[in-house]
Structure 1
Amino acid sequence: MEFNEVVEKFQQLVIEHGLPKTDMALFGIKCPYCGKSDRIRQLEDPEELGAGIEPEEMKIYSDYWKNLTQAGGFIGVCKFCQNPLKIYLKEGKAEGLYK
């Protein structure tokens, strides 16, 4: 599967389940797609999600999570434009996942 297809399927799963479940904004980190700096949320590690997601979908989320976080950083989403992001907390920045 092509990388952008993986990102798109991950994005659909995040939107369908209203992730992240925690609503804590990472202020000061700017979305590279829409420019908002108050709508970035870090997505939960698959082990933190628990109930509410079917086991099959949880496996998909977990596989995508591992694939997208291999190179370090965290995965997040802009709750304004719904695009998935690679988040670097120490550097205070986000990068788009789509290539």
Structure 2
Amino acid sequence: MLLQSYDGYLYLLPALPNALPNGWVKGLKASGGFEIDLDWKNSKLNKITIKSTIGGNARIRVAKNLNLQSKSSFTSAKGENTNEYYQFD
């Protein structure tokens, strides 16, 4: 499994098959109007691009020990998510 949308989060490469240690995919659609491109090498996330079509926070879950080269692109989500698809009653 390359992507899962669950419980208000986007899980990236949550269950990558052993048969796909290297690869890429473009244009995965996720809950909340997000479009995701993934690139992985040696079964580890190498590059991600996330585009929002309607705004709001993308709350992301990835494997431990992820090293970000472009940390300025990511900030910790705070408060309520304004994305209409992540509103919980």
Task: Give the TM-score taking structure 1 as reference length.
Answer: 0.26
Task: Give the TM-score taking structure 2 as reference length.
Answer: 0.28
- Kindly indicate whether structure 1 or structure 2 has the higher relative contact order, using CA contacts under 8 Å at least 6 residues apart: 1
Larger Rg: 2
